[in-house]
Amino acid sequence: MFFKKTYDKIVKELYTKKLRLTIADEQTFKKHVAFNFSSISFTLYLLLFSFIIAIITALLIFFTPIKEFVPGVSSSDLIRKSINLANKTDSLEQALDQNTRFYKSIENVLLGKTEEVLEPKMLKTEKYQEDLNSLIAPVVEDSLLRKYVEEQDNYNLTESELDVGNKMFFSPVEGNLTAKFNFEEKHYGIDVSVPSGSPIRSVLDGRVLFSEWSFETGYVLVVTHNDNLISVYKHSKKNLKSQNEFVKAGEVIAYSGNQGQLSTGPHLHFELWQNGIPINPEPFFKFN
């Protein structure tokens, strides 16, 4: 009963109690304007005004730079820079992975691991290979025939197939051929007997990919050329070029020697590779 009387009293005051808002001069108290409200209407106007202020504030926060001053909200410029940095990082990771795989292929060239040599400009991802394998379902007979043909002709490519017949090669040295190219014995180059200290020249224009000393082959130079060609020079006693240096065709890049555990006398071991395949250099050069 008490609560009902209290409720009725509050409702009656809201609807019957009148309020006046007067705007007057501070010095003369002259009234300029006056507004009459009931308690309930004043409450409704106050709620409506508060709602409008809240809407305007939300719009300002969400659609103007003011939101950057709200704790926990990141700057749009900062987000854009973060996305750009993430994209650049991803691109750098891919480039680093390709360079790593390419230099790994150069290492395989030096070690003679032909089955693991990668073509520098044709590096493919594992996902690409999986998709390619899923699209190709060779017949057993076709696979056997393909394997036989590859075994017969993989390392006996013609000049036109190698796209090297139109190139003007410089002979790396002048001397006597003492060991020929023999894939079966994993001798992927030729040996040319020359006096120790003879100049070794680059066979084509290119860039030095590798210039180091190894225990088995002494000083080694690997030079990359156009059309995925790579030339390799081993058993030198001194290299004149460093990694990433550009060289001209016919330019002296090293001096021959008798360096390395595998050397049997002063000579140059010379190799020529294209697309990860060792090529017999003999048809393209005249050494004496």
Token pair 């080694």 in the structure block, residue: 220
pLDDT band at 88 (very low <50, low <70, confident <90, very high): confident
Query: What is the C-alpha separation between 8 and 172, in angstroms, rounded?
Result: 112
Query: Does residue 215 have a pLDDT over 80?
Result: yes
The secondary structure element, H or E, covering residue 272 is: strand 267-274
Query: Does residue 116 have a pLDDT over 50?
Result: no
pLDDT band at 206 (very low <50, low <70, confident <90, very high): very high
Residue, of 72 and 186, whose pLDDT is higher: 186
Q: What is the CATH number of domain 165-284?
A: 2.70.70.10
Give pLDDT, residue 256. 93
For range 33-59, the mean pLDDT: 81
Across the chain, mean pLDDT equals 76
Query: Does residue 137 have a pLDDT over 70?
Result: no
CA gyration radius, the chain:
42
Residue, of 9 and 176, whose pLDDT is higher: 176
Residue, of 81 and 137, whose pLDDT is higher: 81
Give the HSE-up count for residue 14: Cα atoms under 13 Å, Cβ half-sphere: 10
Query: Does residue 115 have a pLDDT over 70?
Result: no
Give pLDDT, residue 165. 55
Query: Does residue 135 have a pLDDT over 60?
Result: no
- Please give the share of the chain, as a percent, with pLDDT higher than 70: 65
Query: Does residue 149 have a pLDDT over 70?
Result: no
Give pLDDT, residue 98. 72
Domain with CATH 2.70.70.10 in the chain: 165-284
The model scores a pTM over 0.85: no
pLDDT band at 92 (very low <50, low <70, confident <90, very high): confident
181-184-187-192 Cα dihedral, nearest 10 degrees: -30
